Amino acid sequence: MNNIELSKGTSLPQVGLGFWKVSPEDAAQTVIAAIDAGYRHLDSAADYGNEAAVGEGIVQAIRAGQCSREELWVTSKLWNTDHKAEHVRPALERTLRDLQLDYLDLYMIHFPIALEYVDPAQRYPAEWFFEPSDPKPAMKPAKVPIYETWRAMEELVDAGLVKHIGVCNFGVSLLRDLLNYARIPPAVLQVELHPRLSQQKLLRFCADNDIGVTGFSPLGALSYVDIDMAQRDDSVLELEVIRTIASRAQRSPAQVVLRWAIQRGTAIIPKTTRPERLRENLALFDFELSEEEMKAIDSLNEDRRFNDPGHFCEAAFNTFFPIYE
C-alpha cells in the first residue's frame, strides 16, 4: 500500500474503502473483510446511516487481532444540518460513539451547504429535507458562514478528538477563501474524480497548497446508475482505450482506471461489498501505466460531474441549490 504524505508529516493510505450506499446489514462484515484484505483506510459519514455498523466491524477486527487502532485511518464527515458552531462538536461526538472510537484521523465538512439544524432525537441521519412530512418537502438553507464552521472544526483538533480536518466538494474559490483565515489549514480535499471529471486545475492548486486529495466515485458513472443519476453507457470501462490498456497490462478495466487515479497522486475510496472486488481494487501497486496511457485516459475528460447538487437537489429535494457554478 502506498501513502500520500500530508503537510503534518502523516500518511494517508492511498486506497481506502468508501461506505456510501453500503447497507447497515452489510457494513460490519465488509469492514472485517476489507481489513483482512489489507485496507487500512475507511471512509464513512454520518449521512450514510451505517456508522454504528462500521464501528462494530472496526471493534471486531481489532479484537480479532487483524489490526490495531493506530494502524487504521478513519474518516467521517460533518453533515449539512450541523454547520452552526454549537452543533459541530456534538455531531462529532455522536459519530465517535457510533464508530466506538476515541478520535478520528480526519473529519471533513461534507458539503459547502448549510441547512437548518435537525435534532438527532427527531431524525438521524437528518438527510436533506427539513420536514419530510410537508406536502411539498424541501431543503431549508441556514445562514452559516464556512468561517464559523471551520473555527469549530479547529477546536476539535485542539481538543484531541480529531487529528486532521478537511473539506469535501469545495472548488478553488472556496479553498482559497478558507486558506485566508484557517488557523489549521485543510489537510485533505475530497471531491468527485474519474476520467470524465479529471479536475486538473483543482489538483494543481491543492498540490501548490499542500492539500492532499481523495477522489470519490473513482470509477465514475457506475456509482450512480442504480440511483438514476447516470446511464450505464456513461461508464468508461467499456471504452476501447481503457480495454486496450487493460489487455496490455493484463488487468481489469476497473484496475486501469483506479491505477490512473493513484498514479496522479490522489487517494481513492472505491466502494464494494464483494470480497473479490475488495482484493481487486487493492491490487494496483505492481503495475504502472505509461506516460502515453496516462495521457490517453486524461483525454477522456468531459468535465462531467455526476454528483452535482445543482442537479440532484432540485430533482430529488425540490430545491434548486447549485454550488459549483
Q: Which residues are catalytic?
A: 48
Three cell numbers written together for 14: 492511498
Rounded distance between C-alpha atoms, residue 59 and residue 73, angstroms: 14
Torsion over CA: 249, 252, 256, 259 (sign): negative
Rounded distance between C-alpha atoms, residue 304 and residue 197, angstroms: 5
Helix (H, G, I), strand (E, B) or coil at 51: helix
CB contact at 8 A, 19 and 46: no
Residue whose entry in the numeric block shows the C-alpha cell 429535494: 317
In degrees and rounded to multiples of 5, residue 68 shows phi and psi of -105, 165
Annotate 220-261 with DSSP letters as a single string.
GGGGTGGGTSS-GGG-STTSHHHHHHHHHHTS-HHHHHHHHH
Rounded distance between C-alpha atoms, residue 177 and residue 170, angstroms: 11
Rounded distance between C-alpha atoms, residue 135 and residue 143, angstroms: 24
- The burial class, CB within 10 Å (0-12 / 13-18 / 19+), for 299 is exposed
Nearest to 16, CA basis, from 284, 227, 234 = 284
Rounded distance between C-alpha atoms, residue 203 and residue 276, angstroms: 31
